[in-house]
Amino acid sequence: MARKASLSGFPEWLPEERLIEQHIIDVLRRTFELHGFSGIETRAVETVGDLLRKGEIDKEVYAVSRLQADEASASESGLALHYDLTVPFARYVVENSGHLAFPFRRYQIQKCWRGERPQEGRAREFTQADIDVVGDGALPFRYDIELALTVVEALGALPIPDFTLRINNRKLAEGFYRAIGLEDTAAVLRSIDKLEKIGAEQVGSLLREEVGADQEQVRLALELAGIRTPDTSFVERVRALGVSDELLEEGLEELRQVVAEAAHRAPGRVVADLSIARGLDYYTGTVYETVLDGHESLGSICSGGRYDALARKGNRTFPGVGLSIGVTRIVSRILSQGLATVSRPVPTAVLVTLADEGSWSQAQEVASALRVRGIPAEVAANAEKFGKQIKFADRRGIPFVWFTDTEGAHEVKDIRSGEQHAADPGSWLPPAGDLRPIVSAR
Domain CATH code at residue 413 = 3.40.50.800
Q: Binding site: what residues are annotated?
A: 84-86, 114, 128, 132, 278, 282-283
Residue 427 domain-assigned (yes or no): yes
Dist CA 286 CA 320 (whole Å): 11
Residue 416 domain-assigned (yes or no): yes
Residue 7 domain-assigned (yes or no): no
Mean pLDDT of 175-188: 92
Residue 146 domain-assigned (yes or no): no
What is the predicted pLDDT for the residue at 58?
55
pLDDT digits 0-9 by tens, 1-18: 456 667 899 999 999 999
Dist CA 134 CA 322 (whole Å): 8
What is the predicted pLDDT for the residue at 74?
42
Domain hosting 384: range is: 350-441
- Residue 151 CB partners (closer than 8 Å, separation 6+): 131, 165, 288, 290, 302, 323, 325
pLDDT digits 0-9 by tens, 325-357: 999 999 999 999 999 999 999 999 999 999 999
Residue 409 domain-assigned (yes or no): yes
β 104-113/125-134 pair status: antiparallel
Residue 385 domain-assigned (yes or no): yes
Mean pLDDT of 230-248: 95
Residue 17 domain-assigned (yes or no): no
- Residue 368 CB partners (closer than 8 Å, separation 6+): none
Q: Each residue of 83-110: b (16+ CB within 10 Å) or e?
A: bbbbbbbbbbbeeebeebeebbbbbbbb
pLDDT digits 0-9 by tens, 98-131: 999 999 999 999 999 998 888 888 899 999 999 9
Mean pLDDT of 257-285: 89
Residue 277 domain-assigned (yes or no): no
- Cα dihedral 24, 29, 30, 31 sign: positive
Q: Binding site for L-histidine: what residues are annotated?
A: 84-86, 114, 128, 132, 278, 282-283
Residue 264 has pLDDT above 70, yes or no: yes
What is the predicted pLDDT for the residue at 338?
94
The number of domains in the chain is 1
Q: Is 391 left (phi over 0), alpha (psi -120 to 50) or beta?
A: alpha
At residue 75 the predicted structure's pLDDT band, cuts being 50, 70 and 90, is very low
Residue 261 has pLDDT above 90, yes or no: yes
Greater pLDDT, 196 or 234: 234
- DSSP letter for 196, please: H
Cis peptide before 11 (omega within 30 of 0): no
Long-range contacts of 399-402 (CB under 8 A, 24+ apart): 399/344, 399/349, 399/430, 399/434, 400/349, 400/350, 400/351, 400/430, 400/434, 401/350, 401/351, 401/352, 401/353, 402/350, 402/351, 402/352, 402/353, 402/363, 402/366, 402/370, 402/377
What is the predicted pLDDT for the residue at 195?
87
Task: Write down the pTM of the prediction.
Answer: 0.92
φ/ψ (deg, to 5) at 21: -60, -45
